[in-house]
Amino acid sequence: MRPSRPSPRVPRVALLGLGLGLGLALAGAAGCSTAAGGTRAPGGPAAAAVDRAVRQTEAADSLRYTITGRAPEQGRIRAEGWVGARPAVGRVRITTLGGAEPGALELRLVGRHLYSSMSAEAVRESHGRHWLDFGPTAKFRSGGGLRVDMTAMRDEAGHNPVREAAFLTAAKDIHRTGTETVEQTRTTHYTGTVTVAELRRRLRDQDGPGRAGRQQSLDVYAKQGVDELTLDVWLDGRDQVSRQRVRGFGRHGEFDLTVTFHDVGAPVRVRAPATADTVDVREPAHRPGH
């Protein structure tokens, strides 16, 4: 007997543009001519250094990352994610410490299937099952006939958030501020500001698999009413992004999110939840007496 379906509610992901994210951009950007657009940004050596590091980090087979900061209407946020390209897997655990929906959420992308953890109330409604299975495609009809689009959620589970760092290459004032230690590693710090309008203009000329993900990030900022971003990127001695920070102000308040990258290239393993512990959103819900 299938469990009754928990109340249909797509989990709200708090993170801005980190699809915050949200395809798997991890494996694709190595072939792009530049990380932020189809032609190299006019920022001289600083832009070239950031561009090179973004492309190298984005082309890594796997990595782990952590996110801290604040987002409008959400309060403080903590997250930890893992992404791998061979095979394509992803996992992110998000904790929101304020706003209208405080709590924790975990997403997993395994074998093209997207899974989401459920709230305690939903677990009770599903007779003890803890996961929703949204299947292997982004758009489908649920068991109740509703049209579902999980594109953003799938991206959130599987993308490499370093794509945000690429926006810095479009900043006209990009410059090197000095050296700093990040996670016990000596890094070079770059910073600059850029308008969302300028990023959109550059994106129109960009080709390559990273374009769709960056477009989704910009769409999130636009919905928040953000006009300008302040970006900081820290590069390590291997020409990889060690940390990035994105700040801005929109109609719902200020956001400030920092992503730190760990274990670049280390193996990543993500397991799908047990079938007996999942509810398939695509199947008709069980109704008592049927």
What b-and-e string marks burial along 4-26, b requiring 16 or more CB atoms within 10 Å of the CB?
A: ebbeeeebebbbbbbbbbbbbbb
Which whole number is the average pLDDT over 71-77?
A: 82
Average of per-residue pLDDT across 75-92: 90
Element spanning 228, H or E: strand 228-235
Q: Pick the more confident residue, 75 or 244.
A: 244
144 is written with which tokens? Answer: 């109740």
- Output the pLDDT for position 25: 26
Give the pLDDT confidence score for residue 286 in this predicted structure.
Answer: 56
**What tens digit of pLDDT does each residue of 145-203 get?**
888 888 888 887 888 889 889 999 999 999 999 999 999 999 999 999 999 999 988 88
Measured CA to CA, the distance from residue 114 to residue 272 in angstroms comes to 9
d(CA 268, CA 24): 14
Helix (H) or strand (E) holding 67: strand 62-71
What tokens does 209 get? Answer: 């698999």
37: Cβ–Cβ under 8 A, 6 or more apart, which residues?
A: 169, 170, 202, 203, 205, 206
What's the pTM? 0.80
pLDDT band at 5; cut points 50, 70, 90: low
Report residue 288's pLDDT band, with 50, 70 and 90 as the boundaries: very low
The pLDDT of residue 276 is: 95
Give pLDDT tens digits for 10-31.
Answer: 433 333 333 333 222 222 222 2
Q: Which of 6-10, 248-252, 283-287 shows the lowest per-residue confidence on average (mean pLDDT)?
A: 6-10
| pLDDT for residue 169 | 93
For residue 216, what are its two tokens? 């989704």
Report pLDDT for 204.
81
Whether the per-residue pLDDT at 263 is higher than 60: the answer is: yes
Residue 205 contacts residue 198 (beta carbons within 8 Å): no
C-alpha 84/C-alpha 61 separation (Å) is 6
* Of residues 102, 103, 96, the one with CA closest to residue 76: 96
Q: What is the pLDDT of residue 185?
A: 94
pLDDT for residue 289: 43
pLDDT band of residue 32 (cuts 50, 70, 90) is very low
pLDDT score recorded for residue 207:
67
Q: How many CA atoms lie within 13 A of 244 on its CB side?
A: 25
Write out pLDDT tens, residues 111-142: 899 999 998 888 998 889 999 999 999 898 88
Distance CA 198, CA 23 (A): 24
Tell me which of 274 and 14 has the higher pLDDT. Answer: 274
What pLDDT, in 10s, does the model give residues 212-259? 777 777 888 888 888 999 999 999 999 999 999 999 998 888 889 999
Q: Which of 57-71, 213-227, 270-284 has the lowest mean pLDDT?
A: 213-227
Give the model's pLDDT for residue 222. Answer: 83
